[in-house]
A and B are shown apart, each in its own frame.
Chain A
């Protein structure tokens, strides 16, 4: 992107600024030593692996306690019907005519097992007078 010598005017003024600022800067040794002294003076951080182990153990214990703890189901009232046998009051509305057709797969040569008698066989048809 930036090519050397592309902006000599700006490179010149920034070079002057660099010389002016960096010549009067603090020494690395002084700042590094101050940072080291500051680190030694600060209290040590908690031991990270120990902290992680305690956290993991607490989480595991909590999971086990929650897994073992079962909420007792309410007992059904005496005389109440079982849920598997219960039918809604409007169940009869779903009993539409021909509903049986949807309950099985149609097969060639076989009629549906309906309540009305089947007369699809050729032998049952009335013969045409010849």
Chain B
């Protein structure tokens, strides 16, 4: 795949990639932008190479997930060194703006809150399957876990999410 065609494919996947980056960053959009830019930098300087063993989307999502984890670890190290204590839980969804609290935005807010209460692995699996339309097999590949484990997280996550949404009066 030439550099130009790779760039075009990445551009097509950009919205989905940003959504996954937001998920990997616990709802922090600014951090998600940095993660996505670092991911593109890795592609440009060859630290991340697509070898065709999986789909481009699966590969890209794997790179985004690893990049987010690296930045998270680096952030923890910086915080330890500077004794800086962050306010709030890093995995909590970002607080919505007041003007966005209507209709679809309200549903999205409720879903973010419900997802934030789930274990991280279940949240990631549900995001990849329902938000990104990946199969459970592709989800297992992105998260580098076994198919059986991904299926378990998928079923348990669905049940837990439904329970939380129904508790909040959502479908």
Contact = CB atoms under 8 A, between A and B. Distances in A.
Contacts of B105: 16, 20
A16 B130 contact: no
A10 B162 contact: yes
Interface in A1-45: 1-2, 7, 9-14, 16-22, 24-26, 28-29, 31-32, 34-36, 38-39, 42, 45
Nearest to A2: B129
A45 B45 CA distance: 10
Given A21-B18, A28-B14, A14 B44 contact: no
Contacts of A31: 14, 33, 36-37, 40
Contacts of B22: 21
Contacts of A13: 107-108, 110-111, 165, 170-171
B171 A12 contact: yes
B144 to A, nearest CB: 18
Nearest to B134: A2
Main SS at interface, chain B: helix
A9 B154 CA distance: 15
Given A9-B171, A19-B104, A31-B37, A1 B136 contact: yes
B143 to A, nearest CB: 14
Contacts of A38: 37, 41
A14 B130 contact: yes
Contact of B111 (A14, A22, A28, A42): A14
B58 to A, nearest CB: 15
B158 A10 contact: yes
22 contacts: A1-B137, A1-B154, A2-B135, A2-B136, A7-B130, A9-B162, A10-B126, A10-B130, A13-B111, A13-B170, A13-B171, A14-B111, A16-B111, A17-B108, A25-B14, A25-B19, A26-B18, A31-B36, A32-B11, A32-B40, A35-B43, A35-B44
Interface of B: 7, 10-11, 14-16, 18-19, 22, 29, 33, 36-38, 40-41, 43-45, 100, 104-105, 107-108, 110-112, 126-127, 129-131, 135-137, 151, 154, 158, 161-162, 165, 170-171
Given A14-B130, A16-B107, A35-B44, 16 more contacts: A1-B137, A2-B129, A10-B130, A10-B162, A12-B171, A13-B107, A14-B126, A17-B112, A19-B104, A22-B18, A25-B18, A25-B19, A28-B11, A35-B37, A35-B43, A42-B45
